[in-house]
């Protein structure tokens, strides 16, 4: 019996067992697919535009049942980039705050533009974004808190589906010393029902604050202010609650680019948070900068079987050119009180049970489009690093890879607009040197508790381009699992981007190494992008 037959036999046995237990029918119908690295759509096939916002549960005005409402900004550039992702747009232009509703966090219905340019016409700021909505029980109003130029703007509506209208502006100077917030989100505690503004200091973003939202002197505003962090600058400030503990999260100050997700933990929303003033990088996120995204907000799902937390990141690809799609959702898992980021491209969620599972079409490669790194690598400036995120470039012969070394090979290539008509994003892998070289670029992939790499056959795919003057003695893609090596030659190139596949890769015991081996003469070069590894 060969490996494929054995794997298939085990799969059939598992299916029969599950059917006998009544598991397949009861769970598969409820698990609904979430796919990253693509532009999302509503249930009727229209583009879903929502950046820098949040998801909240409110009663549906018609049915009276709790529904999820997703608010975020629709920037004009989002339409352009979706149509032509080969061009990165230079600025953001506010068009509207959108609202979508769902009962399962997957199927979204467009409720409308709930805050538009006309509603903000009394003052036209340079920036509108970073928002959330809280229900003000005393006044029976929904209050949206949104960054608005140099202030925080509150708009209100009698319905969660809007429209929202201008209520008042907040000058934050008396509270924190700057008129504006650095970044902000709204968090509603699922146990108490209280809502809070989570935000950073307006300049340098070296402080993070929590303020309860409520009514004071008859007006909606902020009731208090607690400083919970003072340290390195952090933005993308947001918070979630899991099993009674509060997790304060944030990102680096990397502009539109992806970042590590950082966190602190506390038993009280106002702190103290630990480690004090020393945010930790979330496990599992370092290899691809949180699946090439920035902390946006979180959704906690309390199901009948499990409590799960969804990381909802912003991918500002319209302004960073760092891939496809504007929203990156990945499930978290926990070891004690430590969150673990599960970087998956495809997964399934059941909001009723709280269970989730990896999709059968998941791409197991991290940073396969090489968009995590915002600069040429090696980079002597923030972040200082010698290797591409998630990858190892091993020099067997040739110039060593060193930060600040003039002859060091540059490991990534910045794609032109023409390149981006065929490959994803602004960056790709570069394999070249100014002297004869032998190099191996690889990534090791292994099962984790939450993201298993099942035994079976897989397909590795990549896109490659080599110059017409390139001379490689050998150029191959490869995969190694439990001593079994699969290879495919890449020498016969035409000079344009080509997609190449290595099929029938047998993976055993939940581990594999994939990569490219290159033996080239001085000046030889190739660019590689969009590396994937999926089940066959």
Let me know whether 203 and 335 are in one domain: yes
On whether both 198 and 327 belong to a single domain, the answer is yes
* Nearest partner of 331 among 351, 300, 309, 313, judged by Cα: 309
- State whether 340 and 462 are in the same domain: no
- 467: pLDDT strictly greater than 90: no
- Six token digits for residue 364: 């197991």
In this structure, what CATH number is given to the domain that contains residue 94?
A: 2.115.10.20
Same domain, yes or no, for 309 and 169?
Answer: yes
- Domain boundary among the residues 358, 384, 417 is at 358
Is the same domain home to 124 and 197?
A: yes
113 and 248 housed in the same domain: yes
From CA 288, how far away is CA 370, in angstroms rounded?
8
- Residue 41's pLDDT band (boundaries 50, 70, 90)? very high
Q: Sorting pLDDT into bands at 50, 70 and 90, what band is 188?
A: very high
Q: Tell me if 333 is assigned to some domain.
A: yes
Rounded alpha-carbon distances, angstroms, from residue 396 to 33, 317, 401, 435: 43, 36, 11, 12
Q: Are residues 293 and 212 in the same domain?
A: yes
Q: Is 300 a member of any domain? A: yes
Residue 14 gets the label, from left (phi > 0), alpha (psi -120 to 50) or beta, of alpha
Are 274 and 339 in the same domain?
yes
State how far the Cα of 410 lies from the Cα of 524, in Å rounded to an integer: 13
Residue pLDDT, tens place only, 200-247? 999 999 999 999 999 999 999 999 999 999 999 999 999 999 999 999
CA distance 4 to 473: 34
Q: Average pLDDT, whole number, for the chain? A: 93
Q: For residue 363, tell me if it sits in a domain.
A: no
pTM for this model (two decimals):
0.93
Q: How many CB atoms lie under 10 A from the CB of residue 366?
A: 23
Tell whether the model's pLDDT for residue 368 goes beyond 90: yes
The residue from 358, 383, 406 where one domain ends is 358
What residues contact residue 213 under an 8 Å CB cut-off, 6+ apart? Answer: 134, 136, 143, 145, 186, 194, 195, 196, 197, 220, 221, 222, 223
State the pLDDT at residue 11: 44
Is residue 280 included in any domain, yes or no?
Answer: yes
Residue range 236-289, pLDDT digits in tens? 999 999 999 999 999 999 999 999 999 999 999 999 999 999 999 999 999 999
H or E segment and range at residue 9: helix 3-21
Residue 468 is predicted with a pLDDT of 54
- Residues 419, 307, single domain; the answer is no
Q: Which residues contact 305 (CB under 8 A, 6 or more apart)?
A: 353, 354, 355
In the listed set 358, 383, 417, which residue is the last one of a domain according to the structure? 358
- Cα 399 from Cα 371, distance rounded (Å): 24
pLDDT for 28 equals: 44
- Alpha carbons 85 and 443: distance in angstroms, whole number: 27
Position 20 in a domain: no
What pLDDT shows up at residue 24? Answer: 35
What's the pLDDT band for 12 if we cut at 50, 70, 90?
Answer: very low
Whose structure tokens read 């001379």? 471
Residue 515 lies in a domain: yes
146 and 237 part of one domain: yes
**Same-domain pairing of 438 and 327:** no
Go through the chain and tell me how many residues it has: 536
Domain count along the chain = 2
CATH number at residue 517: 2.60.120.260
Sheet holding 235-242, edge to edge: 235-242, 245-251, 262-266, 280-281
State the CB neighbour count (10 A cutoff) for residue 395.
16
Answer yes or no: is 523 within a domain. Answer: yes
Phi and psi torsions of 366, nearest 5°: -100, 135
Query: Sorting pLDDT into bands at 50, 70 and 90, what band is 100?
Result: very high
Write out the residue range of the structural domain in which residue 470 sits: 392-535
211 upstream amide cis, omega within 30 of 0: no
Residue 26 belongs to a domain: no
Tell whether 344 and 491 lie within a shared domain.
Answer: no
Residue 164: pLDDT band by 50, 70, 90 thresholds? very high
The span from the CA of 42 to the CA of 78, in Å, is 15
Q: Which two tokens stand for residue 355?
A: 């269970």
């Amino acid at each position: 019996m060969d490996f494929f037959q054995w794997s298939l036999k085990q799969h059939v046995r598992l299916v029969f067992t599950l059917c006998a237990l009544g598991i397949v029918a009861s769970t598969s119908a409820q698990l609904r697919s979430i796919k990253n690295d693509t532009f999302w759509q509503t249930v009727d096939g229209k583009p879903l535009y929502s950046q820098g916002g949040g998801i909240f549960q409110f009663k549906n005005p018609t049915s009276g049942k709790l529904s999820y409402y997703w608010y975020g900004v629709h920037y004009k550039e989002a339409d352009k980039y979706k149509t032509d992702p080969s061009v990165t747009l230079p600025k953001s232009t506010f068009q509207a705050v959108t609202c979508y509703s769902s009962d399962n966090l997957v199927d979204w219905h467009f409720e409308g533009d709930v805050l538009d340019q006309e509603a903000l016409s009394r003052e036209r700021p340079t920036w509108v974004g970073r928002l959330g909505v809280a229900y003000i029980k005393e006044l029976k109003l929904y209050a949206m808190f949104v960054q608005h130029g140099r202030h925080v703007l509150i708009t209100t509506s009698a319905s969660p589906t809007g429209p929202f209208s201008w209520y008042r502006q907040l000058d934050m100077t008396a509270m924190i010393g700057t008129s504006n917030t650095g970044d902000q989100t709204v968090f509603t505690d699922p146990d108490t029902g209280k809502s809070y503004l989570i935000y950073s200091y307006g300049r340098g973003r070296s402080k993070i604050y929590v303020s309860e939202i409520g009514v004071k002197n008859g007006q909606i505003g902020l009731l208090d202010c607690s400083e919970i962090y003072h340290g390195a600058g952090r933005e993308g400030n947001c918070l979630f609650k899991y099993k009674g503990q509060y997790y304060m999260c944030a990102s680096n100050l990397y502009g539109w680019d992806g970042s590590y997700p950082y966190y602190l933990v506390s038993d009280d929303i106002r702190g103290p948070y630990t480690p004090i003033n020393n945010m930790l990088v979330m496990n599992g996120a370092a290899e691809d900068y949180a699946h090439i995204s920035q902390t946006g907000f979180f959704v906690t799902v309390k199901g009948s079987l499990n409590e799960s937390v969804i990381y909802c990141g912003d991918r500002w690809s319209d302004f960073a050119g760092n891939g496809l799609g504007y929203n990156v959702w990945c499930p978290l898992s926990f070891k004690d009180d430590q969150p673990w980021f599960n970087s998956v491209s495809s997964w399934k969620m059941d909001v009723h049970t709280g269970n989730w599972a990896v999709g059968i079409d998941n791409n197991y490669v991290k940073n396969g489009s090489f968009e995590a790194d915002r600069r040429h690598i090696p980079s002597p400036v923030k972040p200082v690093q010698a290797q591409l995120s998630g990858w190892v470039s091993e020099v067997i012969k040739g110039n060593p890879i060193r930060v600040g070394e003039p002859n060091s090979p540059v490991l990534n290539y910045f794609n032109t607009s023409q390149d981006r008509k065929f490959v994803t994003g602004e960056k790709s892998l570069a394999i070249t040197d100014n002297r004869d070289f032998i190099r191996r670029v690889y990534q090791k992939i292994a099962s984790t508790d939450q993201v298993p790499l099942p035994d079976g056959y897989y397909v590795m795919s990549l896109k490659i381009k080599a110059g017409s003057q390139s001379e490689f003695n050998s150029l191959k893609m490869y995969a190694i699992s439990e001593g079994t090596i699969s290879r495919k030659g890449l020498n016969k190139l035409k000079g344009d981007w080509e997609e190449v596949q290595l099929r029938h890769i047998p993976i055993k015991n939940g581990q594999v190494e994939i990569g490219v081996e290159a033996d080239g003469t001085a000046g030889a070069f190739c660019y590689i992008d969009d590396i994937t590894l999926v089940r066959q």
